[in-house]
Structure 1
């Protein structure tokens, strides 16, 4: 089964050099047995400590698969109902666990990474607002998985990390798994690095259920193969019953599932500051793959994943792992000037845009000088753009210096969202991603 991986050592070594990645750890599980575990490069560059198969890496959003499995277990035990609204008061009807698991709970994209000590400076409660009726559309949201983490702690009476260890980690024998802003176990840990090789400090967030897991590649591969064994057959089937999100993929419960051409691939990736992770299951071959790297840049991870999956899953193509939901197209908005405001926790921020020829848009935010940038459209938005403009709120000023706009034409107005974010970590560290309502009207 693994004969075609004879060039893996050379491929991994080359991928690290080509993409400036410190290390990568890879594993393959067949049925319930770990059949390959290797590591390459340096887990810690300053200390010249090599990566080994026993090195633990941050998992980022691969954690969602663990959280989703725990939700399914709680449903099997009668602690929650996948189709009953969760407690709380919301703009529309409250979302259900099933909708949150499938990123159809109505929450927007969000993250609030923080690298200091003390309370998180960005309060997640200021952004826990539904932007659409639950169940109506897909939007990948850490906020939704944060709600699932709160729900699990409420119905089990346990801290989520303790619950994951008791109900998933120990039954499956995943001795390396940890949960939290930093790794509390005894195994060696890979230092996380920015895309240009700077070490990251400990990272906190307000949504740990969406991304605070740690493990070796071997334990991730074994989890991918064995997690469904913890569930009732009907619940396991529901976990992989994925609602389509594009022409190649659907999203189930913490798993992306391919459809169409090629072998069925069940996967989940993870990425944040200093983490690039991928978990893949190939059910028809009873195989799973894990690739973990300690760089924000995903290029080395992707090169290794495509090499391994291409050999172990004949017919595999990279679109089976890429959950793109916003296919861009040329923008054809009506020319003219539009004014209004961005609604933030600190009040309204004036915004003016002038749509020019060739999809060029002049933007003026509050009292800042105007900036001109190009715009595109997608199936959801009539106008999408980004510009180096600082939203003048305390939250955005922390580490989100860029502004994105996603707007659609609605009854003689442009309505949608304004996003404060940071484009990567080539300078500094990855910032927060903060979504705010935005409405503009024609002048």
Structure 2
């Protein structure tokens, strides 16, 4: 899931940044444009080294494929234990996992063990919901995210305590739908976690085992799994006012999650991208591949892929990892960008666009400064709030003397601006949920990649409360 919580703020800051061309990468792009040649591994490497320098990311692993070949696969920076990031460094890819879940389902569809257009309830014992409309949800609805499932009508936080996909499925019983199946698109991880359980029931294997046996192993993806017990990713990072802090992943992330459980490497992703472009080892028929790449009749979302122009994309954002993949069927190129970090600014998508530009002989835009500028602004807000809070407390006696004879109503109005930030902060997760189209957001999540925003909001709220309390105490003393 690409969950940059304050996307609007990030975009606003990004628009203020300069748009230019990286040095060596620009020269490489000009040369490629002139000859229409495939960018060399060296040219891609120059671009990525400049990206790492300009963005300040702690680590990055990237693969670029063309037709049936890997053009470039490498890692940059370091992991949280100080070891260099390479093309073989395992990282979580979050919602990029959804395309793998869709592939697992499609292999079983073509084996005749899952039917795309039959109700899930007919194929998955134990799946019931309080809403009778759930009986009409088909497998296709799950993969197209048109089932009617929504974070607003299902307690997805409670589901995080499940220890298996079977328990997860039974936990859906009290949930309801937000719309009739097949009529409305809404991004919800429940769709793909339920699809993963369907894979387990249809195959008789755990979801992780099935992925490894029927998807990863045939493609040669030897360092990929959907369980940290099989492939252990290093801890990732969060950026806190410009400092990268190593953090363990949030607890409660379900092993074998179909919505975001895959752990893989850039090298393995290269094999996946080649197959997705119709070359190399094929796991399903050409028609099955086209089905997964085709938008539903309700929204552009396909099955773990989002068509944008001539490109198929999907990004992912966990709390210490970000990732994005893309294929361009018209040119045969494939791209994957994996980062062992998460912050208010997700650079992986912009890196992928830069790689696409290189593949087309165009000049990639520079990426540096957005995260740094955003966090600098939030840092200045935090410092200013502390200063104003201290000043407000120190001047509270003077403020109280001036208003000793005023009516209570007039005095009360003066407290409103001071307390509004605190009121807003109590509703902080709900406000962020609104910005993310109803996705469930918890307080704990907001201490991860949104940490600078959370700290700034908390300090502003505390400064207002401290000033209000000091003024109220002084006012009572003055009156009496």
Q: How does 1:71-150 map to 2 (within 5 A)?
A: 71-87=105-121, 88-90=127-129, 91=131, 92-94=133-135, 95-109=137-151, 112=157, 125=172, 128-150=175-197
Kept in 2, the 8 Å contact 1:194–1:429? The answer is no
Taking only aligned residues, the RMSD between alpha carbons, in angstroms, comes to 3.9
1:251 aligns with 2:301: yes
1:225 aligns with 2:274: yes
Distance 1:119-1:169 versus aligned 2 partners, 3 A rule: closer
Distance 1:195-1:406 versus aligned 2 partners, 3 A rule: closer
1:295 aligns with 2:329: no
Q: Structure 1-normalised TM-score? A: 0.67
Kept in 2, the 8 Å contact 1:176–1:185? The answer is yes
In the alignment, structure 2 segments of 5+ residues that lack a partner are: 1-36, 122-126, 366-417, 455-480
Alignment partner, residue 96 of structure 2: 62
- Whichever of the two has the greater Rg, that structure is 2
Kept in 2, the 8 Å contact 1:403–1:420? The answer is no
Distance 1:311-1:199 versus aligned 2 partners, 3 A rule: same
SS at match of 2:307: strand
Higher normalized contact order (CA 8 Å, seq sep 6+, divided by chain length): 2
| 1:154 positional shift | 1.1
The correspondence for 1:311, drawn from 342, 346, 358, is 358
1:239 aligns with 2:239: no
Alpha-carbon displacement from aligned partner over 1:330-378 (angstroms, at most 9, x marks no partner): xxxxxxxxxxxxxxxxxxxxxxxxxxxxxxxxxxxxxxx98589xxxxx
Alpha-carbon displacement from aligned partner over 1:39-64 (angstroms, at most 9, x marks no partner): 110122xx421111111111111111
User: Which has a greater percent of helix?
Assistant: 2
In the alignment, structure 1 segments of 5+ residues that lack a partner are: 319-368, 374-385, 391-399, 408-415, 432-443
1:213 aligns with 2:262: yes
Kept in 2, the 8 Å contact 1:221–1:280? The answer is no
SS at match of 1:388: helix
Distance 1:430-1:167 versus aligned 2 partners, 3 A rule: farther
Q: Structure 2-normalised TM-score? A: 0.62
CA distance in 2, matches of 1:160, 1:302: 28
The correspondence for 2:231, drawn from 168, 173, 185, is 185
Alignment partner, residue 426 of structure 2: 389
Kept in 2, the 8 Å contact 1:103–1:138? The answer is yes
The correspondence for 2:77, drawn from 20, 35, 41, is 41
CA distance in 2, matches of 1:116, 1:102: 26
Distance 1:222-1:177 versus aligned 2 partners, 3 A rule: same
Distance 1:98-1:406 versus aligned 2 partners, 3 A rule: same
CA distance in 1, matches of 2:264, 2:314: 15
1:270 aligns with 2:309: no
Alpha-carbon displacement from aligned partner over 1:119-165 (angstroms, at most 9, x marks no partner): 99x99547743211111111111011111011111111110000001
Distance 1:72-1:114 versus aligned 2 partners, 3 A rule: closer
SS at match of 2:221: coil
The number of aligned residues is 340
User: Which has a greater percent of strand?
Assistant: 1
